[in-house]
Copies of this chain bind each other. A is one copy, B any other.
Amino acid sequence: MYVVVLAGGSGTRFWPLSRKRNPKQLMSVFGGKSMLQRTVERVLPLKPKRVLVVTNALQAAETASQLAYLQGVKIDIIEEPVGRNTAPAIGLAAAIIARHDPDGIMAVLPADHYILNEEEFRATLLRGRETALKDYLVTLGITPDRPETGYGYIETEKELRGAGPYPVSRFVEKPFFEKALEFLTAGNFYWNSGMFIWRASVILDQISTHMPALTAALAKLEFSPDIWELADLKPQIGAIYAGISGESIDFGVMEKADKVMVVPADFGWSDVGSWSALPEVIPPDAANNVLIQTKESIAIDARDCLVYGGDRLVALVGVERLIIVNTDDALLVCAEERAQEVKKVVAELEQRGLAEYL
């Protein structure tokens, strides 16, 4: 199995800890290793043939540097000149793998997801691999445990939850609460995790059917199938990306393809889409506060807060449901239910030309 790690996100929703050069996947969100390092380490017991990490020019050096410690693992950093969403990144990785090993199975994994039970995660990947070997496009569907409105859903034909795989009926956009509750109760809906498994040749075939312009662009790639020296590809990738438009693999392929199967997954998962997702995945203290990188803390009648103290003592008095992030040059104090609006802060920083904070 090949592993393709999608690591090019800009992660404005984790500002001020995440910056353009230090997005969420390169951050030590949980203390210790970065999300990217955890993502790669998590698949190593499966002994992947190669790990292809797709990132962008701004983050490529730090990405390579963060993975340098993994001796004996064949890691390729693929540098996108500009972000074009997931379909071109996946298409490019598939084309590279296919030149070498057309029927090779590739797992596509975002670099910035949280996974609680790593053994179950790997077992799920192997179940997905079984289905992918039958030439299906496989997507991992997270068994929902709450009426989450922050994720897209996948509807399957079967009503009963089992090991699957189940044929996919349709992909559903992020629902309102009532719909989400309906999906949760129905039992044949899964969260769309953005994690996929398929043969390189199968996804390339589907891209050629549903995204012919991307296939035409990728056809310009010229390289030896015998060696894995990707540095030569850089100018070619630059030329290809200049001529293609951005598209997600969900919209570009998955929602239109026929042979799509969902493998139910239940390993404790979050896409950690904003600060407010962290309390879901980091154990809180007795007052339900989550304190990370905080030297000391005093909480007087304070609860449900997330605090990055930045090596300071943090004292909370009479506050609740706040996100507090203190870095060397910026301090964010945000109502938890407004966590999605942190990107508005980043937008205003850009507008006001305060580039040093981006």
CB nearest to A330 among chain B residues: B313
Given contacts A296-B354, A345-B298, contact A332 B312 (CB under 8 A): no
Q: Are B326 and A331 in contact (CB under 8 A)?
A: yes
Q: Are A333 and B341 in contact (CB under 8 A)?
A: no
Distance A44 CA – B257 CA, assembled complex (angstroms): 85
A46 at the interface (CB under 8 A from B): no
Given contacts A298-B348, A348-B298, contact A341 B326 (CB under 8 A): no
A300 at the interface (CB under 8 A from B): yes
Chain B residues near A296 (CB-CB < 8 A): 354, 357
A282 at the interface (CB under 8 A from B): no
Chain B residues near A316 (CB-CB < 8 A): 333-334
Distance A334 CA – B317 CA, assembled complex (angstroms): 4
Q: Are B333 and A313 in contact (CB under 8 A)?
A: no
Chain B residues near A23 (CB-CB < 8 A): none
Name, among A322, A341, A349, the residue most crowded by chain B CB atoms within 10 Å (CB to CB).
A322
Chain B residues near A354 (CB-CB < 8 A): 296, 313
Chain B residues near A278 (CB-CB < 8 A): none
The list of the 3 closest CB pairs from A to B, nearest first, reads A318-B338, A318-B335, A317-B334
Q: Could you list some 30 contacts between A and B, CB below 8 A?
A: A16-B313, A16-B315, A296-B357, A298-B345, A300-B338, A300-B344, A300-B345, A300-B348, A301-B338, A301-B341, A312-B330, A313-B330, A313-B354, A313-B357, A314-B331, A314-B333, A315-B330, A315-B331, A315-B332, A315-B334, A315-B345, A316-B333, A316-B334, A317-B335, A317-B342, A319-B333, A319-B335, A322-B322, A324-B333, A331-B331
